[in-house]
């Protein structure tokens, strides 16, 4: 009952808010009254003019000229009075029409709400809204608290630089604050203090990949290979190593590794959803599934090796594989000199040089890529260069 009382009051307020301005100045238009007063004045002036002429104060010519001017003003005032009256009648009609239309619209809106609305539905709490002030304040408070924790941990590490647990916590807080470079440095120190800790190795590798905007760069690849020695069947290591193959263009090899990982995983494993997504993308790239537009993944894929090249490498000895790789790298270098704008090619070349241990050549390749890269890719290349130059 209270709801309907409130609704009725709101309806009346809405009607009053619209209609009152229409009728507020209805009787305050003084134009017709002023025109009537002017007419009375002009008529009095005509009588005075006749009296002055009879008294001999004005000759015939002067009286005729003055009479003509007064009569012209009198005619104009009469016309204005008539127009004012017509305007008032029209305005009154318009006000009534607008009032009727307004009431019909409001009644129609009320009826429409009563038909499809749910007046008994509870309100959504403002504090639960994503962009509410409360949520934003909560987010800001968390950021402030995490920043304070970072300061505390950094102060602690000055006195205890070998505290691996503190470096791990620092990396987590920096990652939460989206400080990727600082997080990677903290995780690196954690790994250096616990080189046999698979979690430290994987986390450090992941931080390098995040720092490179999803690309498995040379430093991350080296870290993942070290992690594989610690725990060869670690799911994260296997996934990222397959991702490195995919980004290098070896889509078939990456797909095989991902499928093997999926087969070895238990049902309901938390990484299966993302893993299946990558498997689907690789199958689409190979034409095994209908194509689907996925720019985020397609951007990461580079031209792949031919099937013959992959088979030839697999059948060779280690020495022959190394020689084969050097030959392929040399050919790729020649291609890049012919087409220096192929940024993905420079990434492949830098990765190949890193695998061969030719760090200076890898750096040179990335610097050349930086010279020819569009503005939206330069930050990514600079990050790769920074990681590579800091790599021991």
Q: Is domain 141-232 given the CATH code 1.20.950.20 in the classification? A: no
| Closest to 248 measured CA to CA, from 359, 386, 344, 361 | 344
Supply 286's token pair: 């190979």
Q: How far is CA 37 from CA 50, 68, 82, 309, in A?
A: 20, 19, 14, 108
The pairs formed by 206-212 with CB atoms below 8 angstroms and a separation of 24 or more are 206/236, 206/240, 207/171, 207/175, 207/180, 207/183, 208/184, 208/387, 209/240, 210/175, 210/180, 210/183, 210/184, 211/180, 211/181, 211/183, 211/184, 211/383, 211/387, 212/380, 212/383, 212/384, 212/387
Q: What pLDDT sits at residue 196?
A: 94
Q: What pLDDT sits at residue 91?
A: 63
Could you give the percent of the chain with pLDDT greater than 90?
25
Query: CATH fold of 314-392, please?
Result: 1.25.40
Supply 275's token pair: 């893993």
Q: What pLDDT sits at residue 184?
A: 92
Rounded to an integer, what distance in angstroms lies between the CA atom of residue 284 and that of residue 291?
5
Q: What pLDDT sits at residue 189?
A: 94
Q: What pLDDT sits at residue 382?
A: 82
Stated pTM of the model: 0.44
Supply 268's token pair: 């309901």
The DSSP code for 266 is: P
Q: What pLDDT sits at residue 28?
A: 45
Q: What angle do CA 381, 386, 387 make, to 5 degrees?
A: 100
Q: What angle do CA 65, 67, 73 make, to 5 degrees?
A: 110
Q: What pLDDT sits at residue 17?
A: 73
Rounded to an integer, what distance in angstroms lies between the CA atom of residue 39 and that of residue 33?
10
pLDDT lower than 50: segments of the chain: 27-30, 126, 133, 291-304, 392
Q: What is the largest CA-CA distance in the chain?
A: 140
Q: Residue 242 in contact with residue 254, Cβ under 8 Å?
A: yes
Supply 126's token pair: 């403002």
Q: What pLDDT sits at residue 32?
A: 53
């Amino acid at each position: 009952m209270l709801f309907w009382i409130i609704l009725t009051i709101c309806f009346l307020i809405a009607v009053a808010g619209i209609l009152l301005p229409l009728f507020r100045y209805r009787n305050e238009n003084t134009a017709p009254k002023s025109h009537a007063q002017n007419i009375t004045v002009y008529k009095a002036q005509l009588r005075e003019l006749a009296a002055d002429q009879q008294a001999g104060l004005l000759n015939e010519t002067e009286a005729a000229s003055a009479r003509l001017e007064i009569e012209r003003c009198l005619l104009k005032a009469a016309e204005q009075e008539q127009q004012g009256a017509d305007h008032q009648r029209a305005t009154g009609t318009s006000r009534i029409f607008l009032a009727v239309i307004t009431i019909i619209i409001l009644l129609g809106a009320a009826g429409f709400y009563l038909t499809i609305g749910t007046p008994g539905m509870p309100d959504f709490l403002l504090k639960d809204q994503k962009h509410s002030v409360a949520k934003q304040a909560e987010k800001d408070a968390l950021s402030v608290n995490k920043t304070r924790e970072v300061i505390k941990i950094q102060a602690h590490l000055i006195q205890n630089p070998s505290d691996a647990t503190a470096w791990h916590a620092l990396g987590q807080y920096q990652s939460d604050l989206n400080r990727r470079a600082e997080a990677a440095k903290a995780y690196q120190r954690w790994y250096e203090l616990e080189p046999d800790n698979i979690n430290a190795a994987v986390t450090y590798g992941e931080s390098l990949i995040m720092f490179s905007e999803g690309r498995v760069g040379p430093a991350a690849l080296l870290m993942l290979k070290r992690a594989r020695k610690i725990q060869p069947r670690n799911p994260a290591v296997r996934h990222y190593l397959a991702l490195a193959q995919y980004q290098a263009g070896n889509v078939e090899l990456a797909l095989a590794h991902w499928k093997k990982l999926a087969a070895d995983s238990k049902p309901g494993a938390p990484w299966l959803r993302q893993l299946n997504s990558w498997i689907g993308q690789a199958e689409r790239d190979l034409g095994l599934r209908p194509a689907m537009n996925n720019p985020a993944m397609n951007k990461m894929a580079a031209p792949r090796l031919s099937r013959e090249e992959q088979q030839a490498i697999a059948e060779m000895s280690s020495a022959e594989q190394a020689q084969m790789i050097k030959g392929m790298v040399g050919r790729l270098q020649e291609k890049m000199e012919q087409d220096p704008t192929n940024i993905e090619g420079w990434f492949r070349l830098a990765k190949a040089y890193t695998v061969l241990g030719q760090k200076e050549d890898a750096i040179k390749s990335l610097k050349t890529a930086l010279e020819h890269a569009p503005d939206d890719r330069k930050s990514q290349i600079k990050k790769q260069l920074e990681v590579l130059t800091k790599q021991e």
